[in-house]
Amino acid sequence: MTAKVAINGYGTIGKRVADAVRAQEDMEVVGVTKTRPTFEARMAVSKGFDLYAASKDNVAGFKGAGIEVSGTLEDLLGEADIIVDGTPKGSGYRAQYEEAGIKAIWQGGEKHELTGLSFNSQVNFEAALGAAYLRVPSCNTTGLIRTLYPLQVAFGMKEILAVMVRRAADPWDTRRGPINAIEPVLTMPSHHGPDVQSVLPDLDIQTIAVKVPTTIMHLHTVTARMKREVTVEEVLDVWRRTPRIRLVKGAEGVKSTAQVMELARDLARPRSDLFEIVVWEEGVNVKDRSLYYFQAVHQEADVVPENVDAIRAMMTLEEDKRESIRKTDLSLGIPPAF
Ligand code: NAD
């Protein structure tokens, strides 16, 4: 079976998910939507995606710009088995998807309560089998879960504190700039801690966030009290056997997010996307039973593999999470971990 996948909102996340879905043997993209005739709309057409207007009101804009659309979202819903919603938070499409009887995946801007199921490939692939609706949590949340979950399984943890140094805007996003400030998020915990708990309810985690004037990558500093004594080598060994984690070394010149993204460019993937969570080997330290580490998250990319696995689970194209992760990662050029 091939799943027919639609993308509503061909923006930062939507266009990446569209390319990733197209790279799968068991899925096809039946169409993508845009609200306005932007360069991204033209790119979608030139890449061979069928373009749909998000609503009837948007059709004239595309006509005026000489961009052909295949219809509206309503028409697209009739073509697809499942839709990936990459629209801005709160766009409010759930009723329309329900009416069309289509499965749907939302992104991290939405609250857990919208679907009642927040997804991570490693943690709860099985819970998503056949599901009608789910949410892939945010880039930061996905990043924290990727490194914390395998440690929780291997050693057990209590009292985690993650401080997130967050990019202020995506690289293309001049609406939020210019920016020259450091902005603490004054809510404690930041929304990331409860968001991690939407997938891992028993994890004792607090999060603090600070926005900084950079556009590429978030950096997390994580402190965790371990339930038993661990060594740095044991921790690294767990991550080496965990998919979608990339260990880097300061000694090899990866000193900051700038070199991480240079490494990503050297990987020569589309858009220089780094789907993996990056952990600095020398930054991993253990003192008494406390573990300390730094990790970096390419905010535009890390949730993409999770969206692909979520489609596979919801459409029951694959029942074994390891097999789904293997297929997704092979198609995206992510090195295998098992
Ligand atoms: P974006 O602004 O880059 O893209 C949104 C897309 O939706 C655009 O193509 C826009 O034209 C379209 N759109 C806007 N209003 C629409 C409407 N009413 N109907 C249909 N389409 C509409 O946004 P994004 O960054 O891709 O964010 C989408 C979701 O992904 C949000 O929930 C966000 O929180 C989440 N997310 C974003 C990032 C990130 O770093 N950008 C990372 C992880 C998750």
With beta carbons less than 8 A apart as the criterion, state whether 160 and 148 touch.
yes
pLDDT reported for residue 1: 84
141 lines ligand 1 (CB under 6 A): no
SS (H, E, C) the chain: CCEEEEEECCCHHHHHHHHHHHCCCCEEEEEEEECCCCHHHHHHHHCCCCEEECCHHHHHHHHHCCCCCCCEHHHHHCCCCEEEECCCCCCCCHHHHHHHCCEEEECCCCCHHHCCCECCHHHHCHHHCCCCEEECCCHHHHHHHHHHHHHHHHCCEEEEEEEEEEECCCCCCHHHCCCCCCEECCCCCCCHHHHHHCCCCCCCEEEEEEEECCCCCEEEEEEEEECCCCCHHHHHHHHHCCCCEEEECHHHCCCCHHHHHHHHHHHCCHHHCCCCEEEEHHHCEEECCEEEEEEEECCCCCCHHHHHHHHHHHCCCCCCHHHHHHHHHHHHCCCCCC
Q: What is the C-alpha to C-alpha distance for residues 334 and 269, in angstroms, rounded to an integer?
A: 10
Q: What is the C-alpha to C-alpha distance for residues 79 and 251, in angstroms, rounded to an integer?
A: 52
Q: What is the C-alpha to C-alpha distance for residues 120 and 203, in angstroms, rounded to an integer?
A: 15
With beta carbons less than 8 A apart as the criterion, state whether 141 and 196 touch.
yes
234-267 exposure pattern, b = at least 16 Cβ within 10 A, e = fewer? ebbebbeebbbbbebeeeeebeebeebbebbeee
Q: Which of 16, 19, 35 to mutate to test the pocket of ligand 1 (most atoms within 8 A of CB)?
A: 35
CB atoms within 10 A of CB 5: 27
pLDDT reported for residue 176: 83
Q: Which of 10, 12, 216 to mutate to test the pocket of ligand 1 (most atoms within 8 A of CB)?
A: 12
pTM flag (> 0.75): yes
- Which residue's CA is minimally distant from atom 15 of ligand 1? 87
307 lines ligand 1 (CB under 6 A): no
pLDDT reported for residue 318: 98
303 lines ligand 1 (CB under 6 A): yes
pLDDT reported for residue 112: 98
Q: How far is CA 89 from the centre of its chain?
A: 14
44 lines ligand 1 (CB under 6 A): no
Pick the catalytic residue: 44, 104, 136, 139?
A: 139
299 lines ligand 1 (CB under 6 A): yes
pLDDT reported for residue 172: 92
pLDDT reported for residue 57: 97
pLDDT in tens, the chain (338 residues): 899 999 999 999 999 999 999 999 999 999 999 999 999 999 999 999 999 999 999 999 999 999 999 999 999 999 999 999 999 999 999 999 999 999 999 999 999 999 999 999 999 999 999 999 999 999 999 999 999 999 999 999 999 999 999 999 999 998 887 778 999 999 999 999 999 999 999 999 999 999 999 999 999 999 999 999 999 999 999 999 999 999 999 999 999 999 999 999 999 999 999 999 999 999 999 999 999 999 999 999 999 999 999 999 999 999 999 999 999 999 999 999 87
Positive or negative torsion for Cα 79, 83, 86, 88: positive
Scan for tokens 């300061």, then name that residue: 250
137 is catalytic: no
